[in-house]
A and B are shown apart, each in its own frame.
Chain A
Amino acid sequence: DTGVSQNPRHKITKRGQNVTFRCDPISEHNRLYWYRQTLGQGPEFLTYFQNEAQLEKSRLLSDRFSAERPKGSFSTLEIQRTEQGDSAMYLCASSWGGSTGELFFGEGSRLTVL
């Protein structure tokens, strides 16, 4: 069991560029979550999937953000036309779907928009 894996770990981009992050969850987990964390704050929910279905999206998720989980395994989070305010740590987590619902997090992907 390799845990939740996120790539890339760090991404520096210029404003206006598109970026994509990938998350590979723990293999037997059917739920996958994306959170965003900025300095001094706790993780803020963005979206989550159960298998390949995207079940909920936060109001924080503007139309420049899109997430997919095409085969119910790995997921991608794409940010189009990045803005400086998008600079944050993007955290992926997965859960096995039982009632206790504890999340297992990856190491995060840090985005810096210049």
Chain B
Amino acid sequence: GEDVEQSLFLSVREGDSSVINCTYTDSSSTYLYWYKQEPGAGLQLLTYIFSNMDMKQDQRLTVLLNKKDKHLSLRIADTQTGDSAIYFCADRSGGSYIPTFGRGTSLIVHP
């Protein structure tokens, strides 16, 4: 990957849906990933999507990929306070095994 950009903060109310957005510049990105990081901890893989897909759903998580606009989003349905964390988008081109990470979006969930 080259550059991966994310907005830095998102605040939602418990029970609402959260949508975290990400843009990337590498047109050869093959896999795109979402990771979650809680305070003081390492990164936990949430889900990934292959570039020939435009949507992937996994329980409360929905990933949408617009390859033309190089835009990736993560929707969390019925957001809970336990979802408060930093969410990182990462991409990886087919010719590399090295994911490139964005700066992360800090999700704050209010009761």
Q: How many chain B residues have a CB neighbour from A under 8 Å?
A: 23
Inter-chain contact A31/B97, CB cutoff 8 Å = yes
Chain A residue contacts of B31, Cβ below 8 A: 100-102
Q: Is A105 an interface residue (CB 8 A)?
A: yes
Q: Is B44 an interface residue (CB 8 A)?
A: yes
Inter-chain contact A107/B42, CB cutoff 8 Å = yes
Closest beta carbon of chain B to A53's beta carbon, Å: 12
Separation of A27 and B4 alpha carbons in the complex (Å)? 30
B45's contact among A6, A44, A48, A103, by CB below 8 Å, is which? A103
Separation of A48 and B33 alpha carbons in the complex (Å)? 18
Stretch at the interface among B13-21, B58-66, B100-108: B100-108
The digit string for B67-97, where 1 denotes a CB below 8 A from any CB of A, is 0000000000000000000001010100001
Is chain B's interface secondary structure helix, strand, loop, or mixed overall? Answer: strand
Chain A residue contacts of B92, Cβ below 8 A: 101
Chain B residue contacts of A44, Cβ below 8 A: 101
Q: Is B55 an interface residue (CB 8 A)?
A: no
Inter-chain contact A43/B101, CB cutoff 8 Å = yes
Inter-chain contact B100/A95, CB cutoff 8 Å = no
Inter-chain contact A42/B45, CB cutoff 8 Å = no
Q: Is A45 an interface residue (CB 8 A)?
A: yes
Inter-chain contact B103/A106, CB cutoff 8 Å = no
Separation of A44 and B35 alpha carbons in the complex (Å)? 14
A33's contact among B40, B45, B50, B98, by CB below 8 Å, is which? B98
Tell me the B residues contacting A by CB distance below 8 Å. Answer: 4, 31, 33, 35, 40-45, 48, 50, 88, 90, 92, 97-104
